[in-house]
Structures are given as structure tokens and as C-alpha cells.
Amino acid sequence: MTTAPERARQNGLSGFQGAPAAEPQVPGRAPRGKRPSWFARDPAWPIVVLLVGWPLWWCLGVGDYFPIVVAIPMVRRMWLWRVHKERTIRLPPGFKIWSLFLLVTLFSIATISLTAPETVPSPTGSRIISWTLRTGIYFAVTIILLYAGNLTEEELPRRRLAWLLGLIGIYTVTGGVLGVLDPHFQFTSPTAYLLPKSLQANNGLLAMMLHPGFSQVQNILGYAVGRPRAPFDFTNMWGNVLAITLPWLIVAWWAYGNRKERRNLLIVVTIALVPVVYSLDRGLWVGLGISVLYVAIRFAARGRLGLLASLCGVLALIAVVVVASPLQSLISQRLQHGKSNAVRSSLSGLAMDVAVSSPVIGYGDTRHELGSTNSIAVGKTAKCHSCGSRDIGGNGQLWMLLITSGILGAALYCCFFLYGIWRYWRDPTPYGMVGVLVLILGFPFMLVYIAVGPPLTFTMLAYVILWKNDRVRHREAEEAAAESAAQLRAQIGARAVAAEAQT
């Protein structure tokens, strides 16, 4: 009785059809194994894709919500870690505070259909969509925080993450320069063709995201001015991101870089000065002032007088450049035109009033004021184009938190980052100094900027660097202590042997 392979050979077949033919063995050469893909070899790939590919996601019109997309493979990998018991998921310091904030955000859906005092009734369906997207961002940045923080130093080095955040700063500077050169350039993203026109028309933020452009053209100085915004939706978001990402380039290229990288850093910072001024963003200017003051205080406290003198010299040089150039005229004009101050003050007061009426969980979503600062009428008129119900909570992260999550939610949100500042304030390394600076900037910025989206994502990654750097410093301290103890024991043993030999 013949077997199947024997019958195949008798029929003249070179191999048995039921099994693959064996690969011929070459003497001295081992069979080549299948090389794993980049996605398998680099666990940090979702973070790399998010940050390196940011201009692409902006062009596609999905930048604000792309963190939700990359959070999906992160959840899958963390689930596999737990199933296969590869590693224990560690939680960052202060995570219980942030978890309580997430609970308040979830419970706020209960009041989504209510009409807040002094606000205009609006469709509940649109509110639910806004709540879902905003809550999705909160949970996505939480997943990014946990995933990136649980990657080892070999899988995601601190310097690599600092460089990736600095790369976002380079993208921001590049977009700012393009906004100055061609302020009217705009295009329609591919995503805009997939969404209903009615949805885009009723949502200004969505319309800006789906129609990217180099600048946000506004009538601020009495005439139309192009304010840089690429690769983000608004000029305010551009300024927020620039202030919290460009310092990481200083860490990667100056503190831990070579001579060429330091030279390139000076070029980038010099170029950034032009769009910073042309943005007419007073919040950004205040943030940069706070950054300089913070660095000066830290240098002075550590006795780094040489670095402090260098910082003062750089500031003096920048001041000379601004005064001797047309940039000085733009700055003075912007400071003289503060038309938005009254509107911001009015909306902030309304946000406080609304928060008092629902202090525990808020109203789930922002609301529209009844009338405006220019008229008690609802909606624009032929004689008053600035009239109409403005968005309460749209003028800053703090005011949005007060109306969407109540006083309790806003307090928990702030306490999480305050705890991070307190916890890592004594970190003297460049990672610690810049990471704490980013958390500090979140507080003045929350008065004028919305953080949900890219700014909150990059802030959470700054928290990751602080967390990872703290673990590395503790491990190094433990290793140094163990080495010192071993040396001490060796010395004591040697002395004991010497004493015994003498006796």
C-alpha cells in the first residue's frame, strides 16, 4: 500500500499538493525567518503616527479627533498586555482625580436636554453629538496618557517623545510662516465631501476644521488681517500649541543635542518670531512672558546665573529686533484694539451664572446666550452684524468646563494638573522644567483658549514625560544607592580582613 507522497512521485509530480514543498537547504546558511512589521517592532507607532503625520490629518480635516482613532490600537495592545500577563498597567500620579473628572463628564449627559438660565433653547441632537465628541477626546487623551506612560524607556525614550513634540512645534512655525506669506489660501478637505452640508453649516468649528487654511482672516485692527492658524483650526489654537510644543524642541536640540541641532534651533526660534507677532495673539504673548519669567525663576533658584544672563541677553536681542522692525507697529496697534474684551467678559460672567445653577455636573454641552452684548435681539440684523446669540463656554477651557461639567468638574480638571505641578516641581532636569512649564501654561491659557483637541493631547504627552522621567530618576537613585551600599560593604569587608590578618 503506497502513501500519498509516493503516489504523487509515481505520477511524475514534483511535490505533494496537500503540503508545501520543503525549501532547499543551502549548506552554511540558516533559513531566513519572517521579519516582523514596523507596527509589531515599534510599540510606540500610534504616537509616532499621530505626531509625525499631523499635517496629513489636518489636511484630511480630522486632526482634532484623530487622537480617538489612534487610541483604538492602544486599547487593544494594553488589553493584550493584560491577557498575556506581559506587564502590569501602571497609573500615573493623580490619576484618581482625573478619573473623577471623567465620571462627572459622563454623568453630565443627564442634563443635556435642559435649557440653562438666560440661554436659547437648541436641538438636543446637536448637543449630544458635541458631548460625544468632547467626551471621546477626554477618554482618548486618557488612553494616550496610560499607554505612553507604560511604554518602557527602550520602547519610547524621553528624548524621542520630546523630539516628536518639538516636531509639532516646527510644523506650527512652518504653518505660521505660510500664513504670513499667503493669508488667503484655503482648501476643502476630503472629509468635507463625506459629511452633510447642513451639519457643516450649523457648526462653525466643524466648518473651520473641514476647510483648512493658512490663516484666519479677521477685522481686528480696523482692516482685514490674516492671522496664522495652520496646521490647526484657529489662530488661538495655533498660539496655544506653539507655546507648549516649541520648548520641547529646546530640550531635544539644545539640552540633549549636538552643535548642528543647536544651530538649527536658533534658526527655528528666530523664524518663529515673525508669525508670533503677526498672529496678534495677546494670549500667546502673555504665555511667552510667563515662560520667560518661569525659566528665570528656576535658573535663579538653582544658582545658574550664567544661564540667566544668557537668557537676558537673548531677550534683549529680540527686543532690539522687534523695535527696529515693522513688527513693533503691529504690536502697538494690537494692544490699542481690544474690541473682544467686552464680549469675553460678558460670556465669562454668563458661564459662571450657568455653572451656579448646576454646580455638580453642569449641562453637558455649551449653550447660546439670550441676545448679545450689542442687542437683546436674538440673531443678526441688517444694522447689527455682531448681534446674535454667542456660544457660552466657547471663549476658554475654564468657562467651557464650568458650563459642561459644572464647578465640580472644572475643579477636578484643574486639580489634576495642579497636582502634577506640585509633584514634579522639584525635578531639576530639562524634562522636568519644560514639563512643569507646559502644565503651568495651561492655567492662563484656559481663560482664553479651548484645550479640547490638540492642546490637551500634547499637554497629556508632557505629563507622560514628567511621569517617565520621575521613574527613571528614582531607578537611577536606587541603583546608585545599591552601588554605594555594595562599595561600603566591600570596604568594611576589606578592613575586617586586614584587621584579622594583623591579629
Q: Does residue 4 belong to any structural domain of this protein?
A: no
3 in a structural domain? no
26 found inside a domain? no
Q: For residue 429, give Cα distances in angstroms to 425, 432, 434, 469, 472.
A: 10, 5, 9, 9, 11
Number of domains comprising the chain: 1
Is the pLDDT at 122 greater than 60? The verdict is yes
Residue in 99, 96, 90, 80 with CA at minimum distance from that of residue 150: 90
Contacts of 89 (CB under 8 A, 6+ apart): 78, 81, 82, 146, 150
pLDDT score for 272? 92
* In a domain? residue 31: no
pLDDT, tens only, 394-416: 888 999 999 999 999 999 999 99
Identify whether 494 is part of a domain: no
pLDDT tens-digit profile of 468-481? 999 999 888 888 88
- The answer to the question of residue 32 being in a domain is no
Question: Which range marks the domain in which residue 258 is found?
Answer: 41-471
Percent of the chain clearing pLDDT 90 (strictly above): 46
pLDDT above 70 for 53 = yes
- Say what the pLDDT of residue 1 is: 45
Helix (H) and strand (E) counts in the chain: 19, 5
Helix (H, G, I), strand (E, B), or coil: what is residue 266? helix
Strands annotated E in 378-467: 391-392
String of DSSP letters for 65-117: GHHHHHHHHHHHHHHHHHHTT-------TTHHHHHHHHHHHHHGGGGTTSPPT
- Cell numbers of 103, please? 465620571
Task: Looking at mean pLDDT, say which of 136-140, 356-360, 369-373 comes out highest.
Answer: 136-140
Angle of CA points 105, 353, 356, to nearest 5°: 55
Amino acid at 270: T
Look at residue 120 and tell me if it is in a domain. yes
Mean pLDDT of 110-127: 84
Pairwise CA distance, residues 117 & 391, whole Å: 14
User: Would 189 be classed as within a structural domain?
Assistant: yes
Backbone angles phi, psi at 391, to 5 degrees: -80, 115
> Which pTM does this prediction carry?
0.85
Amino acid 224 reads A
The share of the chain scoring above pLDDT 70, in percent, equals: 78
Which residue has cell 506640585? 422
Categorize the per-residue pLDDT at 376 as very low, low, confident or very high, splitting at 50, 70 and 90. Answer: very low
- 3-state secondary structure (DSSP) of residue 277: helix
Average pLDDT, the chain: 82
Q: Tell me, what DSSP letter sits at residue 64? A: G
CA 355 to mean position of chain CA atoms: 27
The three-point CA angle 96-141-104 to 5° equals 45
- Chain position carrying cell 460670556: 347
| DSSP per-residue string spanning 186-252 | B---GGGGTS-HHHHHT-HHHHHHHS-BSEEEEE-SSSEEEEE-TTSSSHHHHHHHHHHHHHHHHII
Neighbouring C-beta atoms of residue 77, cutoff 10 Å: 16
Please give the Cα distance from 274 to 296 (Å, whole number): 24
Q: Which three cell numbers stand for residue 434?
A: 519644560
Each residue's pLDDT tens digit, 219-274: 776 667 788 999 999 999 999 999 999 999 999 999 898 999 999 999 999 899 88
Nearest to 69 by CA among 162, 137, 130: 137
70 in Cβ contact with 141 (< 8 Å): no
3-state helix, strand, coil in the chain (%, to 5): 65, 5, 30
Per-residue pLDDT at 490: 83
Measured CA to CA, the distance from residue 237 to residue 335 in angstroms comes to 20
What SS3 state is found at 120?
strand
Q: In this predicted model, which residue has the larger pLDDT, 29 or 69?
A: 69
Residue 360: strand, helix, or coil: coil
Q: What are 303-318's pLDDT values in tens digits? A: 766 666 666 666 666 6
CB 142 within 8 A of CB 416: no
pLDDT at site 39:
62
In DSSP notation, 338-357 reads -THHHHHHHHHHHHHHHHHH
Torsion, Cα 84 88 91 96, to 10 degrees, reads 80
pLDDT at residue 66 tops 70: yes
Strand partners, 186: 213
Instruction: Give the pLDDT score at 441.
Output: 95
Q: How far apart are CA 131 and CA 142, in angstroms?
A: 17
> What value does the mean pLDDT take over residues 459-487?
90
